Chains A and B, each alone.
Chain A
Amino acid sequence: QVQLQESGPGLVKPSETLSLTCTVSGGSVISGSSYWSWIRQPPGKGLDWIGFIYSSGNTNYNPSFKSRVTISIDTSKNQFSLKLSSVTAADTAVYFCVRGGYTYGQVDSWGQGTLVTVS
């Protein structure tokens, strides 16, 4: 059973860069049939996909974030990371790191989520 755990600052100042890391256990980020992704949820609202990365390092980002987002992977540490630049209060959200399968595209494993407040 793969487990994912987000880590990073819970408070970021406006205009700065939000940085989060997801540590994967019980599975490998090198898995050939999975993608690794970040999804966020503003307080009281729905789910927004930010982007994903494959073990190859290939990425795909939501156009809504594309100019501000970078997702990277560290296979030696079994981690992947999110950087979101030029944040505003609108970026305040719970950020989830997740694993998905690209055969069907479903997200089958979720981290518990971490609240990041921009203030």
Chain B
Amino acid sequence: EIVLTQSPGTLSLSPGERATFSCRASQSVGSSYLAWYQQKPGLAPRLLIYGASSRATGIPDRFSGSGSGTDFTLTISRLEPEDFAVYYCQQYGSSPRLTFGGGTKVEIK
């Protein structure tokens, strides 16, 4: 069973700063099958990145994804006020066929 571990659990940053999120898999994930989501309180998650590095429709270019194998990264180059939220990584393929990481919360410092 594949497990995705996200770190840190919480990031305390200020607007304008760079945010880096880590997602580590317990076994290799096909790069095409790693996605990132943003979730704000009371709302459904929103797709940010798919295929490890492709931005979803309408996602600003301050969001970028990278990585392969077992280590993946989501970067927000400069935090905007609306970026303070929880971020999840997700893999598709290995059993269970779809798995989410535990999430990283970005809070205002």
Contacts and interface: CB of A to CB of B under 8 A. Distances in A.
Contacts of B54: 104
B47 A106 contact: yes
Contact of A46 (B43, B56, B88, B93): B88
Interface string B5-47: 0000000000000000000000000001101010000011111
Contacts of A26: none
A52 interface: yes
A49 B100 contact: yes
B98 A110 contact: no
Interface in A67-110: 96, 100-108, 110
Interface in B66-109: 88, 90-93, 95-103
Contacts of A63: 1, 95-96
B65 to A, nearest CB: 11
Which residue among A39, A105, A113 has the maximum number of chain B CB atoms within 10 Å of its CB?
Answer: A105
B25 to A, nearest CB: 13
A56 interface: no
Given A60-B97, A63-B95, A108-B47, 8 more contacts: A46-B102, A47-B103, A49-B98, A63-B96, A104-B33, A104-B51, A105-B33, A108-B50
